[in-house]
Structure 1
Amino acid sequence: MARRGRIPLSERVYRSLQRDLAEGVLIPTERLGEERLAEIYGVSRTPVREALARLQSDGLIERHPDGLYPYRPRLDELADLYELRILLESHGIHRQRTGDGAATAPLTRVHDAATVGGELEIWLHLRSCPPHPGAELIAADERFHSRLLAASGNAALTDALETVYARVRPVRALDMPTPDRIATMTTDHIAIAEQLLAGDLDKAMNTLVTHITTSRDHVLGRAGHALRLTKLARALRD
């Protein structure tokens, strides 16, 4: 019997693979062979096989004719995912204005101030101690947006946003923002939180949409570059 609190081996491999996919440690153009991964993580092929099955179900890896590879969405799919993200997060603000989402309903709720205020404090701190590019920054950014959407009171919206993040995250991991871009992200997050707490929903909406659109443009540009490299690598391999 496994000890209480002990993480199963397949779960540990799953988390390690998930992390390495997000951080770009595993090269997108290299096949995810069970034998090679078992050697990398120091385990047998069975937990690797189980972890790969879960990751494929999550949509983080995909099967090609010659095997499994890290998932990389098409450019048109990325654009669609960012459009969905804008719709979801904008609706989180919109429903504060209408109460229950209906245009004629009176305002009956506001964003949960404790949640928004907590994120504001985090990003005020990060303004003084900026995070390094990589998985930590991506996680902090996703947490900010997910918690703000959750603060609008609709858990289904937050679940949908998490699905979008899972699909976009592998490409975001390829995009290493400069210190200037990290500073802009931080400034935007602080502004959005302050505007929500002040009840200025129009400003919050405008800041949010501009912020996500800028992120989309950077990610699409980086994805286009990665796609060209992938096609070149496959052409050379074939």
Structure 2
Amino acid sequence: MDPELDTRLDTPPRTTQAGEHAYTELKRRLLVGEFPLRIRLGEERLASLLSVSRTPVRQALARLHAERLVERLPDGGYVPAVSNLVEVRQLYEVRRALELAALHRPAESGEPHDLAVIEPLRDDWLVLRRDTPGPDPGFVLLDESFHVRLAEAAGNSALASMLGVVNERIRVVRMHDFLIEERIDRTITQHLGILEAVLGGDLDTAHRRFTMHLGESIAVVEQRAAQALTRMMAAETRDLT
């Protein structure tokens, strides 16, 4: 890594620290449903709430809009986004179909999974096993990478690309799956179990483990997203403007 970059990372500017704090804290509050439905996320009130200036709040809201955690109003302000759980369920069905098709493709085509992809993928997740990260909604990106790389190893790049598109569509609600340490730990264990079966050529076991893994994930996501929505509705009378 560039030494100059190392220095910048070790001592980030004050504005960067404030911006990251605002972004992280607002994301956490949005995911647990702390802000009321349809309430305008006023910059001044949020800045006071987080003990920062309005500029980091404005930057954080722009990032959260890009992640679909907030929706932009016609006048340029923002409100909390509300997940469509019916659509999420349907997209999970598409995701499942794509991933299972990729998982079984080597058996159907006669070409095994690409070990040049699978073995480094296993090594990456063994590192995560040894040094498990704490709860973080951003873990969803590592999870997405696992599933796309596993699909790529089956030899159909178009299928892996389609899976990436579906993952982007459900990312905002899937962040709910990584808010507690137990779910991070279990995800790592299940990913390694799937890879172990693939490396052993036991695709039936890989299928069974993947199905269990995905079923647990959607159950947790739907439950926590519904809980967040309930909290937002209960807090609807609060005013952030």
Structure 1 length as normaliser, TM-score?
0.71
Partner of 2:206 in structure 1? 204
The answer to whether the Cα contact below 8 Å between 1:81 and 1:164 also exists between their aligned partners in 2 is yes
Cα gap change, 1:48/1:25 in structure 2, threshold over 3 Å: closer, same or farther? closer
- Choose from 70, 74, 77 the match for 2:84: 74
SS state at 2:28 partner:
coil
Cα gap change, 1:83/1:42 in structure 2, threshold over 3 Å: closer, same or farther? closer
1:24 aligns with 2:28: yes
**Once the 2 structures are TM-superposed, how far is the Cα of residue 74 of structure 1 from its aligned partner?**
1.8
Q: Percent identity?
A: 34
Cα gap change, 1:235/1:160 in structure 2, threshold over 3 Å: closer, same or farther? farther
RMSD: 3.6
Partner of 2:151 in structure 1? 149
Cα gap change, 1:24/1:60 in structure 2, threshold over 3 Å: closer, same or farther? same
Cα gap change, 1:93/1:163 in structure 2, threshold over 3 Å: closer, same or farther? same
The answer to whether the Cα contact below 8 Å between 2:137 and 2:177 also exists between their aligned partners in 1 is no
**Once the 2 structures are TM-superposed, how far is the Cα of residue 28 of structure 1 from its aligned partner?**
5.6
**Once the 2 structures are TM-superposed, how far is the Cα of residue 97 of structure 1 from its aligned partner?**
2.0
The number of residues matched between the two structures is: 210
Deviates more, 1:226-235 or 1:82-91: 226-235
Opposite residue 71 of structure 2, the aligned amino acid is: E
| Stretches of structure 1 lacking an aligned partner (at least 5 in a row) | 1-11, 100-106
- Aligned pairs (5 A) from 1:170-189: 170-189=172-191
Cα gap change, 1:180/1:135 in structure 2, threshold over 3 Å: closer, same or farther? closer
CA distance in 2, matches of 1:42, 1:184: 34
- Choose from 15, 36, 40 the match for 2:55: 40
Opposite residue 76 of structure 1, the aligned amino acid is: V
1:158 aligns with 2:154: no
Cα gap change, 1:226/1:138 in structure 2, threshold over 3 Å: closer, same or farther? same
Structure 2 length as normaliser, TM-score?
0.70
Cα gap change, 1:189/1:25 in structure 2, threshold over 3 Å: closer, same or farther? same
SS state at 2:132 partner:
coil
Partner of 2:132 in structure 1? 130
Cα gap change, 1:113/1:226 in structure 2, threshold over 3 Å: closer, same or farther? same
SS state at 1:173 partner:
helix
Cα gap change, 1:225/1:153 in structure 2, threshold over 3 Å: closer, same or farther? same
CA distance in 2, matches of 1:117, 1:219: 29
The answer to whether the Cα contact below 8 Å between 2:27 and 2:69 also exists between their aligned partners in 1 is no
Opposite residue 163 of structure 2, the aligned amino acid is: L
The answer to whether the Cα contact below 8 Å between 1:24 and 1:170 also exists between their aligned partners in 2 is no
SS state at 2:134 partner:
coil
